[in-house]
Amino acid sequence: MLVSPMTDHFNTEKALYDAKPKFRRSRTCPGDISRKRKEEEGSADGFYRRCRSEGGGLPHHPISVFGRTASGVSLPPNTGSESKHFPRITSAPAGKKVRFDAAPAVIYAKQTNATTRRANPWGVTDALLRRVPRHYPILKPSSTFVGLAAETISERVSEFFRKNSFSAQYNKGDAEVQASSAHGNVELVARLWRGDNEQEVIMEVQRHKGSSPDFYRMCRDLFAAVKSGEYTMSRSPEEEMRVYDFGASPHCAEDETPSMETGNLLSAISEMIQCDFLETQELGFQALQFLVEPGKAGRNSALRVSKTILLGNTEQGARIRAHLYEVLTQGYEGGDSSGKPGRSALEEKGQRLRGHALQILANMLEAVNGDIELSKELGKQRTHEYWESLIPALVTDIDEASSSPHNALWAMRSIRNFVKLSSRGRETALSCGVLPLLADAYEYGRGRCLLLEMESLQLLSELC
């Protein structure tokens, strides 16, 4: 049984309900975090009530509910009542549901081999499908015939998007869905059409953004999942969260060339992200995102660039750091990231910039956490307080997980690394009321985004 001690900050579920922020949204004030959850998307209260009444919950995988293994937790004697620091354990026969009641996040684990049936967020029926217009040619490489009912196809498509952590916008009753990958490299639209035969459905996928090889690879995986019902992923969620080490470039000398090359790159990037055109700024953020990701640029290069930006000890690093801080705290001109439909093109571009900035921050903190000396240097009072002031804005992104799940994912990863660097980060996150927001994000991720679900559990393990 995987359990964890309760925190001293929230001892009961009632404390969780009372701790939920009820103020107007603000990116700079820890207490002003809005609660805009729609009733059908699920609130924290509804999450706790459904958990207590139904016992539904967490799929069984190696990551424990609070990030601790059973061997790492010493349980008190089973006296039949709750202990002060341990949850009440309800035993059950083998193969049945095993439940435990624990604050701050009441999450029930199913120790069973049966697969939990998830609700179909798309919900397309055969009656809603139209025939392909004569003037509309469908490209064969990105379309296929499926001899299944529309309900089955839509259910398999939504499950494929969930397991691959796509951000999908579903419209009930619409045979079209838009989705983007977790790293933002591919955006696509999937449509269902009625075939010439009443028993056939045509599935079409269009590419809106991204490279052709990545798009067609995802098309093949998606079509295979729809036809067979088996979901094969190019990289598992554990691999997506892992930091890879490709070492230094063999074409560069170890002493002088890497630093010179890094300085030139950062100088060009700083000019791009300070340009007045948002398209140029986005290109600069994409280049910087590549440099700080260990899986693409290598651990040594990512560590070197991350150190320069986080510490701001060079002119280029200080300019990039200031611009990143401004994007993450003050947002962008043209509106907020509320995720409301009908946003202007300026707001959409600003939202993409914020997504890049969040991913850059998460990758930089992930890279420096393995370096002991740099972690100590970042833990100094002045430097750490500079970055720690970002936590309220990151908590706001977690609050908006239903509209921007990928931004919430990178915000959680950044907070988790802040907590590893200093205990002050944990106190700041708790004071912002992050725990009930994590419960909402976990429930949304469980139905829509697997990486968001796993990252919620990872952050809970650091905070509890």
Domains of the chain: 126-228 (3.30.310.80), 242-463 (1.25.10)
pLDDT 10s digit of each residue in the chain, 464 long? 444 444 443 344 444 445 444 433 344 443 343 444 334 344 444 444 444 444 443 333 333 333 333 333 333 333 333 333 333 333 333 433 333 333 333 333 322 233 344 667 887 888 888 888 888 888 877 888 888 888 889 889 988 988 888 888 887 667 888 888 877 678 899 989 888 877 789 999 999 888 888 888 888 889 999 988 877 665 555 555 554 443 444 444 444 344 556 677 888 888 888 888 888 888 899 889 888 887 777 778 888 888 888 888 788 888 998 898 888 887 654 444 444 445 567 777 778 888 899 999 998 888 887 676 776 776 665 666 677 788 888 999 999 888 889 899 999 999 998 888 777 778 888 888 898 999 899 998 888 888 899 999 989 888 87
What pLDDT is stored for residue 448 in this prediction? 86
In degrees, to the nearest 5, what angle opens at C-alpha 366 toward C-alphas 320 and 263? 35
**Residue 349, C-beta contacts closer than 8 angstroms, at least 6 positions apart:** 278, 279, 282
In degrees, to the nearest 5, what angle opens at C-alpha 399 toward C-alphas 394 and 401? 95
Query: How far is residue 366's CA from residue 292's CA, in Å, rounded to a whole number?
Result: 9
141: three-class secondary structure by DSSP:
coil
Q: Residue 22's closest CA among 34, 13, 8?
A: 34
Contact assessment for residue 335 and residue 350, using Cβ atoms and an 8 Å cutoff: yes
What pLDDT is stored for residue 358 in this prediction? 92
Q: Which helix (H) or strand (E) holds 392?
A: helix 391-399
Query: In the chain, what is the greatest distance between 2 CA atoms, to the nearest angstrom?
Result: 73
What pLDDT is stored for residue 375 in this prediction? 67
pTM for this structure? 0.64
What pLDDT is stored for residue 361 in this prediction? 92
CB atoms within 10 A of CB 239: 11
Query: How far is residue 401's CA from residue 403's CA, in Å, rounded to a whole number?
Result: 6
What pLDDT is stored for residue 289 in this prediction? 87
3-state secondary structure 187-253: EEEEEEEECCCCCCEEEEEEEEECCHHHHHHHHHHHHHHHHHCCCCCCCCHHHHCCCCCCCCCCCCC
Contact assessment for residue 294 and residue 363, using Cβ atoms and an 8 Å cutoff: yes
Per-residue tokens: 217? 């690879």
Q: How far is CA 263 from CA 260, 280, 448, in A?
A: 5, 20, 41
Query: How far is residue 129's CA from residue 194's CA, in Å, rounded to a whole number?
Result: 5
Count Cβ atoms within 10 A of the Cβ of residue 339 and give its class: 0-12 exposed, 13-18 middle, 19 or more buried.
middle
Bridge partners for 168 per DSSP: 179
Per-residue tokens: 69? 């293994």
Give me the amino acid identity at 208: H
